[in-house]
Structure formats: C-alpha cells, structure tokens
Structure 1
Amino acid sequence: MEPENDLCIKVLIVEDDNLIAKRYEMILGKRSEFNMVGIASTGYEATMLAALYKPDVILMDIELEDKQAGLRATSEILSYMPNIKIVVLTVDETDETVFKAFELGVTNYLLKNMPPQAIASSIIDAYYGTPSLHANIAGRITREFKRIKSSEDSLIHNFYTLTQLTPTELEVLEQLMKGYSRKEICSMRHVEFSTLKTQINSILKKFNKSYIQEVVDVLRDLHIPEILSQRKDKNLPLPPR
C-alpha cells in the first residue's frame, strides 16, 4: 500500500543485536513516513517503551534475552495495548514459531535478511491493518490451520464413534491400544477367540476401517488413550449413546 504524503508512523525497534538495530534505524531514517520512537534490547524494555511511547508499529525480534522473550513481550504488549501492530523479524523460520507468533496476534512475520523495501512495506501494511505475508510464511500459516482443523474434525469424529461402542467393545479397544495381543485379551477376559473376533469386527464396522491397527494408530495419534485415562481418573463417563 502506498503511504499518504503526511503519514507519520511511530515505530519501536526491539532488537538485541546492535548492528541489526542500526540497520533498521537507517531504513526508517530514510523514509519520511516513519518516526522511530525508541530501541529496546530486551523483552522488559520492549514492554516498558511500548507503554511509554505507544508506538503504532513494533519491529519485534523473537530471540532477545532468551529464545522466547520476544513472544512473551508480544503477548504482554497486545494484552494491554491491542491496537499496537507487531511485525516479527527473526532468523527462526520453524512452523511452530511462525504459528505461535500469529496465535499471539502479530500482524506480520518477516525474516531478518529481507530487503529494506520489504521491511518498510510491512510496517506500512501493518499500520493500515492490511498485512501482506511473505508467500513462504503465508503458506506455512495456511497449512498449519488446515492441519489443526483436520485434526479437530478427526478428534470429534473418532470420539463420537467411541460413544457408539458397547462397554465391552470399548474395553477391548482400550486393551488393544495398551498393546495387549489378542491371545492375551482372550485370557484376560476369559472369552473364546471367536468371541473377540466378533467384537473386533464390530469395532471395525463402526470406525469404517479394515484393520484394527488402523483404528489403534489413529486414536493414539489423537491422544485418545490419554483422554480416556483422564476421564477414568476423574470418574467421568463417555457421553451417553
């Protein structure tokens, strides 16, 4: 977005590397639409200066006094001053860090080696509330949201299917998830192998699977055994059928 001629965006730089901080200061100093209000080198300083100067946009490094300091400062600042826009600049490009930053409410996420124009544009876009994510970062965010949505749907679907099992089928499934063999389960339950086979086939039909290991693997991936264990510890039944 092109800036207005009389635009003056107050920017706070949060960066513990003096050379990088000077680079940002130089980038801002060449543009009339920016007014740098301060430089912080720790999460504590970032929070204090944000409260003192109330910048429009903060360029926030993630790794300050420790690897999560920038994220903690971001969380605190946005909790009390939600109108401030935060653009994260970092060398860390892991999916977990990217998603955590956006989960906290940052406006944009750029790598430190981005050219001056990209940094300036991200500040202006953040100010106007129309961030333009770098294509690689945008792809990561999109994929992560899709993964979480898919996981939630799968959790809800499979947990609902669990409620359709009989108490006997549920007990058999729990024993399978604990790693017991069919022979061991027959011995523990004092049933014939043919009876257990019938119960497993019923479980497969309800989960729409061909092999019981498929059911076990899916439920383990969704941490269903832990959920069931927690409910038992609290004496909570499954939802009624």
Structure 2
Amino acid sequence: MQHGKRQSGQSPIRLIIADDMMPIREYLSMVLSHEADIQVVDAVGTGAETISRALDTHPDVILMDLEMETSRAGVEAIHTLTDNAPGIRCVVLTHFSDDDTVFAAFEAGAIDYILKDSSAAEILEAVRAAAYDMSPIRPLVARMIRHEFRTMRSERASLVATLNIVYRLTPSELGLLRLLAEGKTKTEIAEFRHVESSTIRTHVGNILRKFGESSVKDVVNRLQKLGIFEIFVSDKANK
C-alpha cells in the first residue's frame, strides 16, 4: 500500500509506537492518543512485531526504537519496511548514544529522529511533520546522512555532531544560513526579511552559540563541506 502526500483535514494520522520499554510505550500512547488528529493503532515491543503489525495495518508513521529484542532490531525493521512498504514513514526514537546505529537507521530509510527525552510537543511535531512531509530540514538531513555514510565513512563523528545541531536549528535560522552562504550581507538579509539589522545579528549570535563557533564563515564552511546546502537546492529543483 503506497501512501500519497497527506492533506490537511484528512483522517487522523495512523501511528504505531515501537519500543521495548513498556513505560515508554504507555506514556507515548497516552500523550499521542489524546490528540484529535492522531490515532495510535498499536504499541509493540519488538522489531518483528513492528514489521508484522505495520504490514497488516499500514500506518502513516512509526515511532521506532532502535534497540529492542536485538541491538539492530529497529534498523532491520526500518530496512524491511522501506523495501516492502515505502509509504510508511519511520521516525527513530533514540538516546543518540550509538552513532553507528543511528547512521544505519538513516541509511535503511528513516526520515527523522527524535530524542527520547524530548518534550511531548516536540514528539507531536515530529509525528505530524513526518505524516505531512512539512519539515524541509529533517528529510534533507536524512538524505545527507545516507549519502555521507556511503562516501565519507571516516568523517561520520563530525557529521553526527553537526546533524545534532542542524536538527535544533529553526527553519528561520537554516534559511538565514543559506542566505549567508549565497553571499548576502546581514543588512541585505534584514531588508529582504523586512526586519531590523539587530534582529538578524541576534539570530546569527544564536546560531554561533549552537555551533560553538565564533565565525559565521566557519559555520557556513562546515555545512557546505557536508553538502547540506547543495542537497537543499537539489531537493527544491526536483519539486
């Protein structure tokens, strides 16, 4: 069953929660089932159960723990579902403690990840963004990871660190970095966005703090080296 792009006003987002810890399953089920636009169709504790229930019920989104009955159960489930039910969007649930496993999940076909200690609002945002394809950042980051995993294996530690920061950028901050990468000055960006220059300087300061850098040029060079801007442009050109 192939899922098309969801539209606002459609039936609730059908969700499966996959985590081997019952308290986490129960908490997520409780929080998410209270939302009118989300239907929790199942909560399971193994990768094998996830595959079986997903192929039976065809959810829109799966929140997928990576380490269940085995350390790679989630990755293997994502790979199987990507091959057999590509319309199902898998969002990784992780403590982000094992870089290799996270890389493997994105290579297998995951489109996003969310930290297990994220707020309920952040988890809801991730589920909705996955269902509606409304987040331009995470799918692009996932594509970047799949590409980098194949071609820059030796640099994956740097990639993971940068990914974790990019994930926390707001769309406005990412857009600002793209404009700076195109050679726009802060004054030009302020005029383009119809805001004060001081507002742009504040945003730049926030970005520098997130990256732990003192120079915008260093941040832009770092993202360009990982291909984030090129992937973003390519994605827009294909739409």
Q: Smaller-chain TM-score range?
A: 0.5 to 0.7
Partner of 1:86: 90
Partner of 1:239: none
2:25 corresponds to 1:14: no
The answer to whether the Cα contact below 8 Å between 1:71 and 1:101 also exists between their aligned partners in 2 is: yes
1:96 corresponds, among 94, 100, 103, to 100
Partners of 1:140 and 1:82 in 2: CA distance: 15
Query: Residues 96 and 150 (structure 1 numbering): CA distance in 2 closer, same or farther, change over 3 Å?
Result: closer
2:130 corresponds, among 126, 129, 139, to 126
Describe the SS at the equivalent of 1:31.
coil
Structure 2 unaligned residues grouped into runs of 5+: 1-6, 155-239
The answer to whether the Cα contact below 8 Å between 2:62 and 2:88 also exists between their aligned partners in 1 is: yes
Give CA deviations for 1:114-167 in whole Å, capped at 9, x if unaligned.
101111111111011234667xxx889858855864679xxxxxxxxxxxxxxx
Partner of 1:75: 79
Deviation at 1:95, TM superposition (A): 2.8
Structure 1 unaligned residues grouped into runs of 5+: 153-241
Residues matched between the structures, number = 148
Describe the SS at the equivalent of 2:93.
strand
The answer to whether the Cα contact below 8 Å between 2:15 and 2:60 also exists between their aligned partners in 1 is: yes
Moved over 6 A (4+): 138-141
TM-score calculated relative to the size of structure 1: 0.54
The answer to whether the Cα contact below 8 Å between 1:10 and 1:55 also exists between their aligned partners in 2 is: yes
Deviation at 1:73, TM superposition (A): 1.0
Give CA deviations for 1:145-200 in whole Å, capped at 9, x if unaligned.
55864679xxxxxxxxxxxxxxxxxxxxxxxxxxxxxxxxxxxxxxxxxxxxxxxx
> Which of structures 1 and 2 has the larger relative contact order (alpha carbons within 8 angstroms, sep 6+)?
2
Partners of 2:90 and 2:106 in 1: CA distance: 10
**RMSD of aligned Cα (Å):** 2.9
Describe the SS at the equivalent of 2:86.
coil
Structure index of larger Rg: 1
Partners of 1:41 and 1:144 in 2: CA distance: 27
Partners of 1:145 and 1:79 in 2: CA distance: 18
The answer to whether the Cα contact below 8 Å between 1:87 and 1:110 also exists between their aligned partners in 2 is: yes
The answer to whether the Cα contact below 8 Å between 1:122 and 1:132 also exists between their aligned partners in 2 is: no
